[in-house]
Structure 1
């Protein structure tokens, strides 16, 4: 798994967009006390269910891999001129 440039920032953006997506799909909002790892796993599973992200093999499902999948997803969703896609 090759790490993307700005992967941490992409994951942060994916969480923001993913939370809005989940809310629009009818899911309850995450509470303020929900951990980042729980949010990542929940959003990953929702995106897999909706066929927006290719599922990881069951033995490779861990938080770093889920973060990477979310980063790839949001990277594809962002417009080409978005600041997170600019090569530094």
Structure 2
């Protein structure tokens, strides 16, 4: 897994956008007491179900790989000249 520049900030952006996507799909909003790990997993599973990202193999479904998938997803959605991609 290749390290991506600004990965932590991109992940934060992915969680924000993923939560907005979930809300538009009719899911309840995740509250502040939900752990970041659970948010990542919920958003990852929602995006897989919506066919926005390809699923990881079952043996590689863990926190770091899910986070990496979300970072790749958001990096494709952002414009090429976005500050987080520089």
| TM, length-normalised to structure 1 | 0.95
| Distance across 2 between alignment mates of 1:76 and 1:10 | 11
Large movers: runs of 4+ above 4 Å: none
CA distance in 2 between counterparts of 1:32 and 1:7 reads 22
Question: How far apart are the structure 2 equivalents of 1:7 and 1:28?
Answer: 27
Aligned twin of 2:59: 59
Task: Return 5+ residue gaps in structure 2 as ranges.
Answer: none
- Counterparts of residues 4-43 of structure 1 (less than 5 Å): 4-43=4-43
Q: How many residues align?
A: 86
Root mean square deviation, CA, Å? 0.6
* Mapped partners of 2:77, 2:46: distance in 1: 16
1:80 counterpart = 2:74: no
TM-score normalised according to structure 2 size: 0.97
Gaps of 5+ in 1: none
